[in-house]
Amino acid sequence: VPAPAASNLQIDPERLWGDLMETAKIGGTPNGGICRLTLTDLDRQVRDWFCREAKALGCAVTIDDMGAIYARREGQRRDVPPIAMGSHLDTQPSGGKFDGALGVLAALEALRTLHRAGYETFAPIEVINWTNEEGARFAPAMLASGVFGGVFERDWAAARQDRAGVVFGDALEEIGYRGPAKCGDRHPLSAFFELHIEQGPYLEAEGRDIGAVTGIQAIRWYEVTVVGNETHAGTTPMPRRKDALVAASRIVARIDALAREYAPLAVGTVGWLEVRPNSPNVVPGQVTFTVDLRHPDETVVEAMETELRRALYGIADEGLRVEMKPIWHQPPVVFDKTCVAAVRAAARACGLTSRDIISGAGHDAAYVSRVTSTAMIFVPCRDGLSHNEAEFTSKEQCAAGAQVLLQAVLAFDRELAARQR
Ligand code: HGY
Ligand code: MN
Ligand code: MN
């Protein structure tokens, strides 16, 4: 029986939605979100689920030394590097059901559709789950895809510690996902496509079904420490204080003001802050906090960094000590034009509206794009809300994204076959 035409291959919206809701229970929170931090036992459970599903489809499943999982379905030509799809299964501490999971589960559904239809692709197809995309437990974010893309050195990445001092490599070993393969070594790809919710308001505001993601904005993370003087809250007169929290609060407000000065695209966030000794009747002696600066134009991020340093020098002039440690520096990313064109064409072929868009969020595709042709597909999320338990994208929108992912991969596969003939 001849294989169906690629255009007749349809993902199954119910199956995809069922997978999303089933895996959302692993780390599910009472408010309908997910807390499934990387390399916890919950991460192990969802990884086990993914490996079982992939093996049931006849995929060969391999795991590398950063815990990235590769589910491979053979094509006509085993010697041609696979076309890959994927994203991440780890979440923020109060994350939503779709950030990351949609990209992995839609890729699995696309592969399942090929398998059920007996459709043989030219190139092998791979579905990838990247470890520690979120960076919520181990900084920086996108650690495994960063090693794969040659951005982070393997031993440095494996030695990263969380705030409790747990080492990444040990946590990986603990959940049984430290594989033998060397992440990124001899693992060429023909292309990588990542489906993700937009995590911002633009597609929904414009009533567009699909975002053809042309690139990712520049991102920089820092850790700032302000050291003052820990003294008694009742006996220390105000003029004699060196209150680290009051000083840090002025910096936090300055970061917010800076981003607004570079409106409308700049963003600046302090997401994590620790006060020591954190006691109601002690003037805070030390405050440590994270800074996240982003803008599509790297010169603007550079300018905001310069202004931040100036603000910190001002604090130092008041007799407090300040330190600013760069943690993550991701330059702007431009995705492969052929892959982005395949996404636009797939959206059109599926009868969906689309627009080009630059991603405000970082994604594994950013680092994978350093070693292979890469593009991303966005679908809207309600009110642009993400990194929030109320994150929501409808069954229809998830299915539309998965269908475009499947058709973009098949179009790239046909293009690859034509080039090799
Ligand atoms: O930080 C980010 O943009 C991504 O969610 N890790
Ligand atoms: Mn994500
Ligand atoms: Mn995220």
Angle 13-24/395-420 helices, nearest 10 degrees? 110
| CB 19 near ligand 1, within 6 Å | no
- What does the alpha-carbon distance between residue 28 and residue 40 come to, in Å, rounded to a whole number? 14
User: How many Å from the N-terminal Cα to the C-terminal Cα in the chain?
Assistant: 24
Per-residue CA distances from 328 to 151, 252, 319, 336 (Å):
11, 19, 28, 23
In the reported structure, the alpha carbon of residue 88 is separated from the centroid of ligand 2 by a whole-number distance in angstroms of 7
User: Which listed ligand is nearest to 103 at the C-alpha?
Assistant: 2
Most ligand 1 atoms within 8 A of CB, residue of 130, 133, 293, 358 to mutate? 133
Q: How far is the CA of 75 from the centre of ligand 2 (A)?
A: 29
Rounded to 5°, angle at Cα 184 from 158 and 64: 60
Distance (angstroms) between ligand 3 centre and the Cα of 7 equals: 32
Task: Tell me the longest C-alpha to C-alpha distance in the chain.
Answer: 88
Q: Is the CB of 103 under 6 A from ligand 1?
A: no
What is the number of the ligand 1 atom nearest to the C-alpha of 142?
6
Quickly tell me which residue has 């692993």 as its tokens: 26
Mean pLDDT by 10 residues, the chain (421 residues): 70 98 98 98 98 98 98 97 98 98 98 96 98 96 97 97 97 97 96 98 98 98 97 97 97 98 97 98 98 98 97 91 95 97 96 97 97 98 97 98 98 94 74
Residue of 328, 199, 300, 314 lying closest to 253 (CA atoms):
314
Ligand 1 nearest atom to the CA of residue 361, by list position: 3
Helix count and strand count (H, E) for the chain: 12, 16
277, with CB counted inside 10 A (0-12, 13-18, 19+), is: exposed
Report the separation in Å between the CA atom of 335 and the middle of ligand 3, taken as the mean of its atom positions. Answer: 19
What's the Cα-to-Cα distance from 100 to each of 37, 107, 344, rounded to whole Å? Answer: 12, 11, 21
Query: Which residue puts its alpha carbon closest to atom 4 of ligand 1?
Result: 362
- The string of DSSP codes covering 10-57 is ---HHHHHHHHHHHHTTTB-TTS-B---TTSHHHHHHHHHHHHHHHHT
Report pLDDT for 117: 95
Residue 4 is predicted with a pLDDT of 60
Q: What are the structure tokens assigned to 90, written together?
A: 């780890």
The response to whether residue 198 sits with its C-beta less than 6 Å from ligand 1 reads no
The CB of 283 under 6 Å from ligand 1? The reply is no
State the CB neighbour count (10 A cutoff) for residue 219: 25
292 lines ligand 1 (CB under 6 A): no
Compute the half-sphere exposure of residue 198: CA atoms within 13 Å on the CB side of its CA: 30
Residue 380 in contact with ligand 1 by CB distance below 6 A: no
Q: State whether the Cα torsion 151-156-162-167 is positive or negative.
A: positive
pLDDT of residue 1: 47
Beta strands in 107-151 (DSSP E): 125-130
Pocket test for ligand 1, best of 38, 88, 134 (most atoms within 8 A of CB): 134
- Determine the residue type at 408: A
Chain mean position to CA 304: 23
Indicate if ligand 1 lies below 6 Å from the C-beta of 293.
no
Ligand 3 center to residue 417 CA distance, Å?
Answer: 35
Q: Is 133 in the pocket of ligand 1 (CB under 6 A)?
A: yes
Pocket of ligand 1 contains residue 42 by CB under 6 Å: no
